Amino acid sequence: MTSERMVDWTDKAACCLVQHAARRTPEPLSARLEEEWLADLAQRRSGFSRLRLGIGCYWATYSIAREQRVATVALARSQLAHTSVAGFTSENATLFSRRTVTFLLVASLHAAVLLGLAVGVGSKFIKKTPTEFVVDHIDKPLPPPIVLPTPPTPDWNTTQIILPEPDVKLTIEPDAPPVGGEVKETPPETQSGTGPSLPPAVTINRVQGGPGIGFPSAHDFYPPSAIRREEQGIATVSACVDVRGRLTSDPKIIHSTGSQRLDEGALTLAVAGSGHYRATTENGKPVDSCYAFRIRFDLKN
């Protein structure tokens, strides 16, 4: 009973495999192959042999289907028999395997792309690309410029003059006492010092003047006689100048060069430079003043 059931099972499985395999084949062959394979299946004696036939038929469908596709492609190309390639195809259908077909498809795709580039499809795309760049102005206020504070220029000629304390002591008498009232003597304010309190010292920022812009050069007033004698020296001249830089009195030689000719040239230079002196300033205001400055007579210059 068990062997009969096994035979029945293998017969049914083999029959199902054959029928299913035959239906997987292309349509013109499926009915024929089903009947043919079932007839061959009936001739097999053992159940195992029938099962092998069913499996083999299932496997055969892959080969049959592949060859059927190749034959279909070959038939389609044989219709183009007037071309040499198609004629070769019809005579050698087996040469056009799947790889050859793929190669032909890729080659045709490349040819289409090259043809498109040659015709000008590419130029249309190129024309679409913008050739000019448009700059959009953004109406946005610019941030305020950063202004760095200019550092104060140091004035190297500044001298601080501290005035001495005044020698005059002023005593302020108190006002008369009110009439009809008792006068209360207020005790003097005790101070921690030995003497009376001093007024605070007044500081004056004084900048001494001197030869300014446009003052003549010593070379122009070098006495020719002193040049011939090759006399050189430095003369110190005192000059009194008003607020506009002009001499208010005759300049004087404070320190001689040792040469009368050079001293005369120094005085002539000092007089010629009237109006070009820089006035002395106190707290930034020009004032009349007298100061000394030196004039160098040097043949090397």
Which residues contact other proteins (rule: CB under 8 A)?
29, 32-33, 35-40, 42-44, 52-53, 55-60, 63-64, 67, 71, 75, 92-94
- Closest CB to other proteins among 67 and 282? 67
- The β-bridge partners of 287 are 280
d(CA 32, CA 21): 12
- DSSP label at residue 197: P
- Closest CB to other proteins among 71 and 119? 71
Four-CA torsion 275, 278, 281, 287, nearest 10 degrees: -20
Tokens of 242: 């008003």
- Closest CB to other proteins among 43 and 194? 43
To 10 degrees, what angle do helices 2-24 and 47-78 make?
0
* 236 CB-contact burial (10 Å; exposed 0-12 / middle 13-18 / buried 19+): middle
- Shortest distance in whole angstroms from residue 58 CB to other proteins: 8
CB 293: neighbour CB atoms within 10 A? Answer: 19
- Shortest distance in whole angstroms from residue 29 CB to other proteins: 7
Alpha helices in the chain (DSSP H): 2-24, 27-43, 47-78, 84-91, 98-119, 121-128, 224-228, 260-272
- Closest CB to other proteins among 75 and 113? 75
d(CA 68, CA 74): 10
- Shortest distance in whole angstroms from residue 97 CB to other proteins: 11
Q: What sign results for the dihedral spanned by CA atoms 74, 76, 81, 85? A: negative
- Closest CB to other proteins among 63 and 131? 63
- Shortest distance in whole angstroms from residue 62 CB to other proteins: 8
- Shortest distance in whole angstroms from residue 108 CB to other proteins: 26
- Closest CB to other proteins among 20 and 252? 20
- Shortest distance in whole angstroms from residue 23 CB to other proteins: 15
CA 99 to chain centre: 57
- Shortest distance in whole angstroms from residue 99 CB to other proteins: 15
d(CA 80, CA 96): 15
> Is-contact 297 231, C-beta < 8 A?
yes
Tokens of 78: 């044989």
- Closest CB to other proteins among 52 and 246? 52
- Closest CB to other proteins among 35 and 250? 35
- Shortest distance in whole angstroms from residue 4 CB to other proteins: 20
